[in-house]
Structure 1
Amino acid sequence: MAVYFHKREVVVPGQLLADGRYRASDGTYDTEDGKVYSALVGLAELRGNTVKVVPLEGAYLPKEGDLVIGTITIVAGNNWKVDIGGPYLASLHANNALRRPYSDDISEYMDIGDVIVAEITAFDRRSGPFLSMKGRGLRKLEGGMLLEVSPAKIPRIIGRRGSMINMIKDHLRIQTIVGQNGRIWIKAKDTETLRLAIKAIRTVEEQAHTSKLTDRINNMLEEALSSRQSEAQSMSKEGEVKETAPTSSEEPVEAETPEVPESTSDSADEEGEDSTTEGSDETAEPKEPSEGGTEETAVAEDENQPAEIIDTEEVSEE
């Protein structure tokens, strides 16, 4: 017994993978001498004594029990024809989707263009796969968007026991349904989250053949979410309006008190006193000498001298 490949090694058609007591599985074939060969280009895996090859690319081949996402294309009688992305149109009978009694016009429940998630219950290459919607989570999908990837990469996107897709869902808090036929339904709370989910899934699809992919996707999502949180905090700080009281560097200027003009009576009294004083002290200026050569000095007498004040007490006593 011998194995001729490493874990998740890329192999090509016709490459010897193992011989001895090993059983051939998906993507492989065996010969009478007990040797197992690869039937396609893909990643070789060994689980127990079973050898399988996960294709890197390829069309979807329906299998019983697969969960698929499809679009209704035809409504005929009590049947819907559903496009599931493979070489066959799937059939869904009303009895496998509705509770009785139901209307004769089944387009009232699901019509052309509606997207559904269903399970393949049987597959015949001559008639195509048959679907059922009687199961947990099987229903018509509302809202969200469909992302198509290579069906061969679906096992890597799901991860072991759902580890990869559950990690993406937990980080981004989104709703997802992964179909084995290479269609993924995503419903996110906003456009930025949806874009980040698509980026993560596309990265898994492109790097499906590499190791430690789960850790890299986890780090990528944590960095992206941390960056978004920092941007949101900076924007909220910029949006805050701080109210401050206006301050002035100039000193207050005291109002000038207007000068009150003196009363007319006071000014008149002062003028009267001045005129009286000037009249009592007035002296005649010297005249120029006359032709006779004598100088005459004229002294002006004040004819308007004030009257003498009489003491009223003395008058009364007399």
Structure 2
Amino acid sequence: MQQSNAHRLQVVLPGDALPVYEHKLKLGPGLIQDEDQIIAVKGGVLKHQPAGNKYWVESNQRRYVAATGDPIIGVITQKGGEFFRVDIGAAHSAVLSYYAFENATKRYRPNHDVGTLIYARISQANKDMEPELECVNPATGRADGYGELKGGQVAKCSLGLARRLLETETPILKDLGDHIPFETAIGLNGRIWINADTTKNTIVVINAIKDSEKYPESQSRQVVSNHLSKW
């Protein structure tokens, strides 16, 4: 694939073959590699992220499909002998090993209760198996923000909005940060977590982020102003 703006606007359908002209690239949701071709497995707009040279298909699908490398927000639903079972909003729950945390050992294992909110990374995704999660950055071996999300509130958003918030320079987060200090975690499974200094500000941030999807980025400051004026 050649890096160009045209690819960002290219519409693909399931089964479309896209020739590969470079070797070092990453494939996101909606694409698989078959020998010397990239094959689209779902319909949508072909997107490209220069950082990491990543390609994916963005569509309006409602249910999240796990993809290796995706950061997600999940809820622990079950504790087993060696793992947690986690709801990630997909067709199947995911598995999170007790040892997939920073500094975890047989003697020291994380003790999270059912209902705990977790920010994790999809370490392995296969259509024939449950997705596997990890709460460490594989490049550093450290948590680097992954792990339990304490306080704050979690809300659902479209999968397209989640990806734009995480992988592009969307102004809404910066414009909100100019008025309200807050922490955020964004899951590509269509969940966002916000922790501001007050419940009111947390709600303002969540509502403004979700509302921003309806407007062009040039109106980001106006969206923020509208939501601030309601309180």
- When the two structures are superposed, what TM-score results if normalisation uses the length of structure 1? 0.54
Deviation, 1:77, is 0.8
Q: Within 5 A, what are the aligned runs for 1:146-295?
A: 146-158=154-166, 160-161=168-169, 163-207=171-215, 213-222=216-225, 224-225=227-228, 227=229
Q: Per-residue CA shift, 1:103-149, capped at 9, x if unaligned? A: 7xx6xx11111111111212232221111123211121111111111
Give the Cα separation in 2 of the matches to 1:47 and 1:65: 14
Give the Cα separation in 1 of the matches to 2:193 and 2:174: 14
Q: Per-residue CA shift, 1:154-213, capped at 9, x if unaligned? A: 122335246543443443211110011111111122233223212222123344xxxxx2
Give the equivalent residue in structure 2 for 1:101: 107
Q: In structure 2, do the counterparts of structure 1 residues 74 and 220 end up closer, same or farther at CA, with 3 Å as the change threshold?
A: same
Give the equivalent residue in structure 2 for 1:115: 117
- Answer whether contact 1:159 1:165 (CA < 8 A) is retained: no
- Answer whether contact 2:49 2:167 (CA < 8 A) is retained: no
**What amino acid does structure 1 have at the position aligned with 2:129?**
S
**What amino acid does structure 1 have at the position aligned with 2:84?**
W
Give the Cα separation in 1 of the matches to 2:161 and 2:11: 16
Q: Per-residue CA shift, 1:72-129, capped at 9, x if unaligned? A: 11111121111111112111111223344137xx6xx111111111112122322211
Considering fraction of residues, name the structure with more helix.
Answer: 1
Give the equivalent residue in structure 1 for 2:145: 137
Of all paired residues, the percent bearing the same amino acid is 25
**What amino acid does structure 2 have at the position aligned with 1:101?**
R
Secondary structure of 2:94's counterpart equals strand
Considering fraction of residues, name the structure with more strand.
Answer: 2
Say how many residue pairs are matched. Answer: 215
**What amino acid does structure 2 have at the position aligned with 1:218?**
R
Q: In structure 2, do the counterparts of structure 1 residues 29 and 83 end up closer, same or farther at CA, with 3 Å as the change threshold?
A: closer
Q: Within 5 A, what are the aligned runs for 1:58-73?
A: 58-73=62-77
Q: In structure 2, do the counterparts of structure 1 residues 113 and 223 end up closer, same or farther at CA, with 3 Å as the change threshold?
A: closer
Q: Per-residue CA shift, 1:36-78, capped at 9, x if unaligned? A: 9976554454678997541123321212221111111111112
Give the Cα separation in 2 of the matches to 1:29 and 1:79: 29
**What value does the CA root-mean-square deviation take over the aligned residues?**
4.0
Secondary structure of 1:219's counterpart equals helix
Task: Confirm or deny that 1:85 pairs with 2:89.
Answer: yes
Give the Cα separation in 1 of the matches to 2:97 and 2:49: 37
Give the equivalent residue in structure 1 for 2:139: none
Give the equivalent residue in structure 2 for 1:268: none
